[in-house]
Amino acid sequence: MRAPVTILLSSVALAAALTACGGGGPSKATFVTKADGSCAAGNAAIAGVTKPTNPTQIGAGAATAASTIDGQVSALRALKPRGSDTQQFAGVVSAIADVSGPAKALQDAAGKNDDAAIGKAAVDLQSKVDTAATQGQAFGLTQCGVGLKPAVGNLFDGTKSVVKAGFVTKAEALCRAANTKINAIATPGSTLASVSKYFDAVMVISNKLAADLKALPTPPGDEGAVNEFNAAFDALNAKGKDTAAAAKANNAKLVVALSDELDVAGTALNAKLDAYGLKVCGTTGS
């Protein structure tokens, strides 16, 4: 009569062992190795994309990334992790799958030469890659998700350079045209009325230029630098507005003080514009 008890105990021990190792399936280490093996070649293919220098190359690189990621996702969905890892691994695969959408959007935007859409898709791509990398690393992977971050480096950097080149060209043209208009305005005389008239005319042009620069598609990854010089431009224009108001109020002392502040604000703006490569907008055009 002891045999059934022995069998029962053995069954309980086996069940406990299975539970302890995640409910069956390969070990975590074995599974991770297999999963990473499904992603390594694809990551290498994306990393091998030549850094794009024009929209056509951006589109080709994005197409490679999208199709490769779709292939990785298909391969990963065919794998069966341990029961206890199923939900977390599904999250990793979902995060990797989410990278494909902005890659396809980047391909589409590049085909249309749409700098605004290119920049947005590139930022979205970077964000989704970051999420996939975080999810993959948390699972213990080194290739799936994690390897996408360095792999898309050339594509992202090249996209940024292409959009920035377009941004600089358009911005410099806007500044050149604005500078020509400002230089055509008669310099103020010795009266506050002439100072007020001068600043009124200049501010119309300067405010429009600031708005036009803000309307340009921001190069992906350069949001901080662009926001900084836009804010500096707003500060300069605010000083110009205050100077015009002081002149209208016949407050000569305040006009003089604000003129000094205008010089400081202008110098700060030029430094930021020059640093970004906008020489005509900065010191060259001053």
Q: What is the CATH number of the domain that holds 37?
A: 1.20.120
End-to-end CA distance of the chain: 102
- The rounded distance, in Å, linking the Cα atoms of 278 and 271 is 10
143-169 burial by CB neighbour count: b if 16+ within 10 A, else e?
Answer: bbbbbbbebbbbbbebbbebbbebbbe
**How buried is 2 (Cβ within 10 angstroms: 0-12 exposed, 13-18 middle, 19+ buried)?**
exposed
Q: Quick: pLDDT tens for 31-58.
A: 999 999 999 999 999 999 999 999 999 9
Mean pLDDT of 2-22: 42
Q: Are residues 199 and 87 in the same domain?
A: no
Q: State which amino acid sits at residue 100.
A: S
Query: Do the domain assignments include residue 12?
Result: no
Q: Are 220 and 119 in contact (CB under 8 A)?
A: yes
Q: Quick: pLDDT tens for 177-201.
A: 999 999 999 999 989 999 999 999 9
Helix, strand or coil, per DSSP, at residue 48: coil
Query: Do the domain assignments include residue 141?
Result: yes
Mean pLDDT of 78-100: 97
Q: Are residues 113 and 179 in the same domain?
A: no
Q: Are residues 216 and 117 in the same domain?
A: no
Q: Are residues 194 and 239 in the same domain?
A: yes
Listed residue (214, 215, 205, 260) closest to 237, CA to CA? 205
Confidence label for 1 from pLDDT (cuts 50, 70 and 90)? very low
Confidence label for 284 from pLDDT (cuts 50, 70 and 90)? confident
Res 22 pLDDT > 70 = no
Q: Quick: pLDDT tens for 138-173.
A: 999 999 999 999 999 999 999 999 999 999 999 999
How many structural domains does the chain have?
2
Query: Do the domain assignments include residue 252?
Result: yes
- The rounded distance, in Å, linking the Cα atoms of 21 and 24 is 7
| Domain extent at residue 243 | 161-276
Residue 21 or 134, more confident: 134
- The rounded distance, in Å, linking the Cα atoms of 68 and 162 is 23
Query: Do the domain assignments include residue 113?
Result: yes
Average pLDDT, whole number, for the chain?
Answer: 92
Mean pLDDT of 80-93: 96
Output the pTM of the full model.
Answer: 0.84
Mean pLDDT of 100-124: 97
Mean pLDDT of 124-137: 98
Res 15 pLDDT > 60 = no
DSSP element (H, E) containing 23: none
Q: Write down which residue in 85, 120, 151 finishes a domain.
A: 151
- The rounded distance, in Å, linking the Cα atoms of 225 and 98 is 28
